[in-house]
């Protein structure tokens, strides 16, 4: 093997720089989106495509709640106090079930074959009072 096999070349520095810049800027953006420690309540949103199927205030749950989707119950979602997950899915890849419980604002679990997404968002408490 020639000596300079792992020598980085001029262009690499530019490539790494661009990628690092994307990582850093997007991290800052996501950080502000997720860790905005305002006075909010966590709401889990279950969507299929752009249709919102259900919104659950997961912090208000006292017992396990089961949500069955589609006619054959192809996808079953479990929610309990403060967290939510894909419990069962008939999809072939099981990526959604493997994602496990999600509980923090900004987290999401996705079932690509059924186009179902669960995401947790923060809702201002003022808005919450009105909806209650």
Partner 1 sequence: MNKTKKLVLISLFISQALVLSIIESWVSIPIPVPGVKLGLANIITIIVIIFFSFKEALIVVIIRTMLASIFGGGGLIVFLFSCAGGVLSTIVMAGLYKVKYNIFSIVGISVAGAAAHNLGQILVAAFLMKDVTVITLLPLILTFGSLMGILVGIVSTFLEDKLKKARIFDV
Site membership for partner 1, residue 110 (CB under 8 A): yes
User: 103 to each of 13, 21, 34, how far by Cα in Å?
Assistant: 38, 29, 12
User: 27 to each of 3, 20, 30, 35, how far by Cα in Å?
Assistant: 37, 10, 5, 11
Among 57, 61, 78, 106, binds partner 1 (CB under 8 A): 106
Q: E strands, 57-113, where? A: 65-69, 75-80, 83-89, 108-111
Binding-site string for partner 1 from residue 23 to residue 62, where x marks contact by CB under 8 A and - marks none = x--xx-xx--xx------------x-xx------------
Q: Which is nearer to partner 1, 61 or 95 (CB)?
A: 95
The CB-based long-range contact list for 55-61 (8 Å cut-off, 24+ gap) reads: 56/84, 57/128, 58/82, 58/83, 58/84, 58/103, 58/120
Site membership for partner 1, residue 17 (CB under 8 A): no
Site membership for partner 1, residue 126 (CB under 8 A): no
Least distance in Å: CB of 34 to partner 1?
7
- Output the CA torsion 121→127→130→132 (10° steps): 20
Q: Which is nearer to partner 1, 79 or 109 (CB)?
A: 109
Site membership for partner 1, residue 92 (CB under 8 A): yes
Site residues (CB under 8 A) for partner 1? 1-2, 5-12, 15-16, 19, 22-23, 26-27, 29-30, 33-34, 47, 49-50, 91-93, 95-96, 98-99, 102, 106-110, 112-113, 115, 117, 119, 121
């Amino acid at each position: 093997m020639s000596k300079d096999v792992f020598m980085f070349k001029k262009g690499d520095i530019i490539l790494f720089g661009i990628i690092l810049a994307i990582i850093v800027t997007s991290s800052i953006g996501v950080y502000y989106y997720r860790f905005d420690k305002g006075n909010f309540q966590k709401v889990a949103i279950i969507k299929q495509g752009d249709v919102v199927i259900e919104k659950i205030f997961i912090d208000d749950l006292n017992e396990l709640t089961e949500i069955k989707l589609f006619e054959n119950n192809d996808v079953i979602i479990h929610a309990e106090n403060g967290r939510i997950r894909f419990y069962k899915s008939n999809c072939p890849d099981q990526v959604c079930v493997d994602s496990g419980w999600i509980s923090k604002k900004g987290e999401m679990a996705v079932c690509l074959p059924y186009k179902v997404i669960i995401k947790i968002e923060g809702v201002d408490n003022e808005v919450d009072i009105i909806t209650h």
